[in-house]
Amino acid sequence: MNAWTAQEREDYGALSTALCLCVCAAGLFGEDLLQRDFRRDRAVLAHVAVHPGAATRHVACALGARERVVQRSLSRLTEEGLLMLETDGATPALRVYRVAR
């Protein structure tokens, strides 16, 4: 709205401010998309810390996320050494995780 009003009054300072705000909002939205995985990983890690021996399916159900998405988070956290996989041979949905010590 500010950009439209500024264009009508030929107020280029207000127009550039409005455009700058739009670019900043787009940047923040993009940053939020990039940070989504990190926030999900934190939620998964917190759930496993409170519920040791949690399976992928239980974590997904508790967080309201799809099992595939939770499995990616669990894999990342296991690779980083934050979680331990206890039942290695099981299918991904039945694997059990604990916080690494």
- Looking from the CA of 89 toward its CB, the CA atoms found within 13 Å total 0
96-99 and 54-55 strand pairing: antiparallel
Query: Mean pLDDT over residues 13-35, rounded?
Result: 71
Is the overall model pTM greater than 0.75, yes or no?
no
CB-CB neighbours of 16 under 10 Å: 12
Q: How far is CA 78 from CA 18, 23, 73, in A?
A: 45, 37, 9
Q: Answer yes or no: are the C-beta atoms of 95 and 85 closer than 8 Å.
A: yes
Instruction: Please say if the pLDDT value at position 2 is more than 90.
Output: no
What does the pLDDT read at residue 7? 55
